[in-house]
Amino acid sequence: MACLGVFDSGLGGLTVVREIQRLLPSLPLIYIGDSLHAPYGSRSEDEICQLSLAQAEFLLAQGCTALVIACNTATAAAAKTLREHFPLVPIIGMEPAVKPAAAATKSGIVGVLATVGTLQSARFAALLDRFAAEITVLTRSCPGWVEAVEAGAFETPETVSLLQREVEPLLAAGADTLVLGCTHFPALRPTLQALVGPEVTLIDTGVAVACRVAEQVAASREDAGSLTLFTSGTPTVFSHSARAILGVEWLPMALPLVWKDGRLENA
């Protein structure tokens, strides 16, 4: 039986889960949000590798047959290591949607919103080399955005000012396309779109990742679709925001996880 394991530094990866569930409603999913360690964006590559390995190990021990690293930062830091550790497991990562943005922009100026970890990674530099030769890419590391999503503050006045501070310089510079290069950011999409107006295109990678999953993981006939949530944060807070991001009225309460000697265990 297929079972997909998905993980992120917290709630952000649920924006990817939302798209996977839309495309593959019967695929059983197990999700870990490591909210205890969010944000990952300012942590070292080494630390993100250790945290990602532990999450992958926990998901595989639960019976997952494939993994999605639903985090741009963790993909940049740890995808290669995870694939070396688990060569037989399909592992799908994600990267900022620079290629579709380069195709979509009319002004030739694209803003990429992502974490410091993603923007400073060799993987991102390679992505720009491959797809951004003909356009101008402006980047913003968006301090406070991940924390706002983790707090469930999707549209408070404080969040609006945080968003404004980052996008205004991009719009002033002529950007007509903004890449949401962190999986937390699509949770802010309605607020962001209202701020930048309908002429500015916002692009994320959730649907593309869901399509990759569909290519690599086949749900069996007997699968009925389920979502089990685990968090190293506070289950009530996590579950509340998870419902908002997934757009559902009810979800089973997230199960608590604890970190012990660098490994994840049921609390």
Is residue 233 within 8 Å of 210, Cβ to Cβ? Answer: no
Distance (Å, rounded) from C-alpha 150 to C-alpha 197?
25
Distance (Å, rounded) from C-alpha 59 to C-alpha 55?
6
> Which of 141/177 has CB closer to ligand DGL?
141
Is residue 20 within 8 Å of 4, Cβ to Cβ? Answer: yes
Q: How far is CA 61 from CA 37, 84, 125, 160, in A?
A: 21, 18, 34, 40
Among 71-79, 161-169, 216-224, 249-257, the segment contacting ligand DGL (CB under 6 A): 71-79
HSE of 200, CA atoms in CB hemisphere, 13 A: 26
Distance (Å, rounded) from C-alpha 159 to C-alpha 265?
33
Active site residue 71: yes
If one asks whether residue 71 binds ligand DGL (CB under 6 A), the answer comes out as yes
Strand partners, 196: none
Q: Rounded to the nearest whole angstrom, what is the least distance from the CB of residue 39 to ligand DGL in the complex?
A: 3
If one asks whether residue 118 binds ligand DGL (CB under 6 A), the answer comes out as yes
If one asks whether residue 146 binds ligand DGL (CB under 6 A), the answer comes out as yes
Q: Return the residue of 115, 159, 232, 241 that touches ligand DGL, per CB under 6 A.
A: 115
Q: Return the residue of 9, 55, 121, 201 that touches ligand DGL, per CB under 6 A.
A: 9
Active site residue 182: yes
Q: Return the residue of 8, 19, 95, 204 that touches ligand DGL, per CB under 6 A.
A: 8
Q: Contact positions toward ligand DGL, by CB under 6 A?
A: 8-9, 12, 38-41, 71-73, 115, 118, 146, 182-184
- Catalytic positions, please? 71, 182
